[in-house]
A and B are shown apart, each in its own frame.
Chain A
Amino acid sequence: VAEPRNTDSFDFSRYHSISEIYSFQDMLVAENPNLVSKVVIGQSYEGRPLNVLKFSTGGTNRPAIWIDTGIHSREWVTQASGTWFAKKIVTDYGRDPAVTAILNKMDIFLEIVTNPDGYFYTHTSNRMWRKTRKPNSGSSCVGVDPNRNWDAGFGGPGASSNPCSETYRGPRAHSESEVKSIVDFVKSHGNFKAFISIHSYSQMLLYPYGYTTTPAKDQAELHNLAQRAITDLASLYGTRYRFGSIINTIYQASGGTIDWTYNQGIKYSYTFELRDTGRYGFILPANQIIPTAEETWLALMDIMDHTFKNPY
């Protein structure tokens, strides 16, 4: 396999194995020592490092923005988009005024392969795998849905108690190291101002809550910002998104990531559901990776720019 010698020759328009993504991360760090570093926030169940790229121009514990992709491993367009976002941040810093302004005052943390065991498994054994890969005691079924395992309405309606279900919540909140590692990191950092967790597919931009119909206290602001973000997203290729709170827009989901982050006080908590625009579902052709990443970036920039301009 022709290994890329640097991130400029990395092929963003195709899907990559976990080792190719990990070596991309190391190359990006090596090429940008004054902007990018790698923070290993923990290990997956099978012992893979949970790598988070930190984009920082200095300071100490600056207000920060979190972006994660691939928490559901089969949603390949998200990890591929996350890789493209990493390069975009490095390329735009010093060139794009908005990105430069944000990074001169804030840090950005990007976890591209948030569920590495699951991702490896989709490449080697089962392309349809969504959950983690930890065995469940007392069951022949493996894995927990890492987007039902958070301590936010945990165990309520909108998650399954059956280990064989795709939405199995796990034996207790934060039982999965892939989740617990983020929880501990966010708590120890203590200065996150935005948290964006990226899924696919169904073209939605969602904000809390999923486990309760009680509106988020910042609902109006979150709703308006989401509307602006999906409008800019659609401006590139016309990809139409729906938006709103999780429970009003899709269904009740308990133990969800951004419900927990919002309850931690991270106001700008959003979940994206990226393309498919029509007929491929999770098997989105690789030629749609870059258009998907480009349109999503416009929405991400709205959220990051709003976070930067509305400190709290």
Chain B
Amino acid sequence: KETFEGHQVLRIVAKDDVQLSLIKDLEDMIEFELDFWRGVTDVATPVDIRVPMHSLQSVKIYLETQDVEYSIMIEDLQVLLDEEQEEMESAAR
């Protein structure tokens, strides 16, 4: 079973179209193995990206050096998935 310890979901908000294209460029950085939960649409709409632990530091540095604003929507994805699983099992019982 695939687990997601340490994966974070970042919510990124572009200030302008330049920043939007910087975020879009992340789509081509295959090595980061990013999972776009909410894709790049327009400046007003946040972009949500699941970032595996091994890419977290690089992605955050990339965003911070370009002064792109982001917040951490999910601190540790696996914690949330464990809660979901536990809830399903207890409800089923």
Give me the interface of A with B, judged by CB distance under 8 Å.
Answer: 1-2, 11, 13-15, 124-128, 164, 166, 201-202, 242, 249-251, 279-283, 285-286
Contacts and interface: CB of A to CB of B under 8 A. Distances in A.
B38 A128 contact: no
Task: Name the prevailing secondary structure of the A interface residues.
Answer: loop
B78 to A, nearest CB: 10
Given A279-B73, A286-B91, A127 B38 contact: no
Task: Name the prevailing secondary structure of the B interface residues.
Answer: mixed
Contacts of A127: 2, 4, 81, 84
A250 B47 CA distance: 11
A128 B73 contact: no
A249 B41 contact: yes
Contacts of A15: 84, 88
B33 to A, nearest CB: 10
Contacts of B77: 283
Contacts of B38: 201-202, 281
A286 B41 contact: no
B37 interface: yes
B73 A166 contact: no
Interface in B43-93: 45, 48, 50, 73-74, 77, 80-81, 84, 87-88, 91-93
A126 B2 CA distance: 5
Given A2-B93, A124-B1, A166-B36, A280 B41 contact: no
Contact of A283 (B30, B41, B84, B93): B84
A280 B35 CA distance: 15
Interface residues of B, number: 26
A271 B81 CA distance: 27
Contacts of B50: 128
Nearest to B40: A251
A250 B1 contact: no
A148 B39 CA distance: 15
A164 B33 CA distance: 10
Nearest to A250: B41
Contacts of B12: none
B87 A14 contact: yes
30 contacts: A2-B92, A13-B91, A14-B87, A14-B91, A14-B92, A126-B2, A127-B2, A127-B4, A127-B81, A127-B84, A128-B2, A128-B4, A128-B35, A164-B30, A201-B37, A201-B38, A202-B45, A242-B45, A250-B45, A279-B73, A279-B74, A281-B37, A281-B38, A281-B48, A281-B73, A281-B74, A283-B77, A283-B80, A283-B81, A285-B87
Contacts of A251: 39-41
Contacts of A126: 1-2
Contacts of A164: 30
B9 interface: yes
Contacts of B45: 202, 242, 250
B54 to A, nearest CB: 16
A152 B1 CA distance: 35
A285 B83 CA distance: 9
Given A242-B45, A250-B39, A285-B87, 7 more contacts: A2-B93, A15-B84, A127-B81, A128-B4, A283-B77, A286-B88, A286-B91
A15 B91 CA distance: 9
B93 A1 contact: yes
Contacts of B74: 279-281, 283
Contacts of A286: 84, 87-88, 91
